[in-house]
């Protein structure tokens, strides 16, 4: 199997910048938001044929498609049509964030891949994914794969089961700063509101279909999110305490640390965003060794130039009471990171 590394974390932790740095290395294939795009549906239990596998990675992601249809795109949505309300509906999952990160012609690459994949034989989903990674590596002249998705720590067990030889990087950021960034991001605001819907209705999952009675039990500002298109103001304008995002940060980093602690020690490493800012050459050299490539001097120069610490310490500008509440909700996550060998 080709060397594969998954960068997992909470999101809003500097990992998008890391994807751009990875892409700049001539030996690394940077798969940006691949698992966020195709989701767990792309790892079914049984064997599938090429045409079925293609549908699993090509059909639009329901949640992201509803955001695009509602005129609430995210900066992570890279396909040119995503920002054009009324024109962006139905963008293939693979084309929304993954392929535009690799090429200026994502639609052309999409058709090129389709022509190959649909003819593939029946086999397991991991075998299909490995073949897809091989095709993309050959297409772009790369030899090792680094996939990075935000809000992905919960995927570690499934990814390890599917790709037992793969490595993992756990990327994290200062809790209060990360939570504050989450509070300003439409995707994370929507996650928090979906969790509120789940708590109020008793649904088994945040994405589970609701009965008419459950929908009627919701206040209008939450029920309005269940129809597509929805009003983006329901997500962007509703007051949400930043401390609640601290609790979300604690939950996701604790879950990731717990999952990774169960892996062989040689298969994963931690990466603090602040360390990357403070010692970029050291940290990028360490990452290159973990990925199995050389820390090329020109790549280190390019990587350093791509990092921007301007938003570091943003949470310190919060009112004292708000900052204290945020720190309290982040404390469990910080303890989990320390126990896992994270920040001192």
pLDDT (tens digit per residue) in 270-284: 999 999 999 999 999
Chain mean pLDDT for the chain: 95
- Residue 121 in domain: yes
Helix axes 125-140, 106-117, angle to 10 degrees: 130
Neighbouring-strand partners of residue 28:
144
- Residue 178 in domain: no
Domain count, the chain: 1
pLDDT(55) > 60: yes
- Of 8-12, 203-207, 214-218, 227-231, the one with minimum mean pLDDT is 203-207
- Residue 233 in domain: no
The Cα 191–Cα 67 span in angstroms is 12
pLDDT(1) > 70: no
- Give Cα 217 distance to the centre of its chain: 32
Which among 182, 197, 118 is positioned nearest to 333, based on CA atoms?
A: 182
Q: What is the pLDDT of residues 63-100, one digit of tens each?
A: 999 999 999 989 999 999 998 776 778 999 999 999 99
| Res 341: pLDDT | 75
Which residue reads 């009675």 in tokens? 213
Under 8 Å CB-to-CB from 82, ≥6 apart: which residues?
Answer: 68, 73, 88, 91, 96
Q: What is the pLDDT of residues 180-220, one digit of tens each?
A: 999 999 999 999 999 999 999 999 888 888 999 999 999 99
Burial of residue 175 (number of CB atoms within 10 Å: 0-12, 13-18, 19+): buried
- Residue 111 in domain: yes
- Residue 112 in domain: yes
**pTM of the model as a whole:** 0.96
268-272 and 167-172: which strand pairing?
Answer: parallel
The Cα 129–Cα 146 span in angstroms is 13
The structure tokens listed for 221 are 């500002």
Which among 41, 113, 98 is positioned nearest to 82, based on CA atoms?
A: 98
- Of 252-256, 307-311, 312-316, the one with minimum mean pLDDT is 307-311
Domain that holds residue 74: 30-141
Mean pLDDT of 6-16: 96
């Amino acid at each position: 199997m080709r060397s594969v590394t998954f960068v997992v974390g909470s999101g809003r932790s500097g990992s998008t910048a890391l994807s751009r740095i990875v892409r700049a290395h001539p030996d690394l294939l940077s798969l940006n938001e691949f698992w966020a795009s195709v989701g767990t549906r792309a790892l079914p239990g049984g064997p599938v044929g090429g045409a079925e596998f293609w549908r699993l990675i090509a059909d639009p992601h329901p949640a992201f498609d509803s955001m695009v249809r509602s005129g609430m795109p995210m900066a992570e949505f890279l396909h040119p049509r995503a920002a054009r309300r009324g024109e962006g509906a139905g963008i293939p999952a693979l084309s929304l964030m993954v392929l535009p990160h690799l090429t200026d012609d994502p639609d052309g690459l999409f058709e090129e891949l389709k022509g190959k994949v649909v003819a593939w034989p029946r086999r397991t989903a991991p075998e299909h994914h490995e073949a897809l990674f091989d095709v993309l590596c050959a297409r772009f002249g790369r030899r090792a794969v680094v996939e990075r998705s935000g809000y992905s720590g919960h995927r570690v067990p499934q990814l390890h089961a599917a790709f037992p030889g793969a490595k993992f990087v756990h990327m994290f950021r200062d809790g209060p700063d990360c939570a504050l960034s989450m509070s300003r991001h439409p995707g994370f605001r929507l996650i928090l509101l979906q969790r509120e819907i789940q708590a109020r209705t008793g649904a088994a999952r945040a994405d589970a279909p609701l009965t008419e009675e459950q929908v009627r039990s919701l206040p209008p500002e939450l029920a309005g999110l269940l129809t597509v298109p929805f009003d983006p103001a329901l997500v962007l304008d509703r007051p949400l305490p930043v401390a609640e995002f601290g609790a979300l940060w604690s939950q996701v980093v604790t879950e990731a640390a717990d999952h990774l602690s169960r892996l062989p020690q040689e298969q994963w490493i931690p990466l603090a965003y602040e360390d990357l800012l403070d010692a970029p050459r050291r940290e990028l050299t360490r990452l290159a060794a973990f990925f199995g490539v050389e820390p090329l001097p020109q790549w280190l120069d390019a990587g350093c130039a791509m990092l921007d610490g301007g938003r570091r310490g943003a949470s310190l500008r919060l009112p004292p009471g708000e900052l204290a509440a945020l720190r309290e909700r982040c404390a469990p996550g910080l303890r989990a990171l320390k126990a896992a060998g994270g920040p001192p």
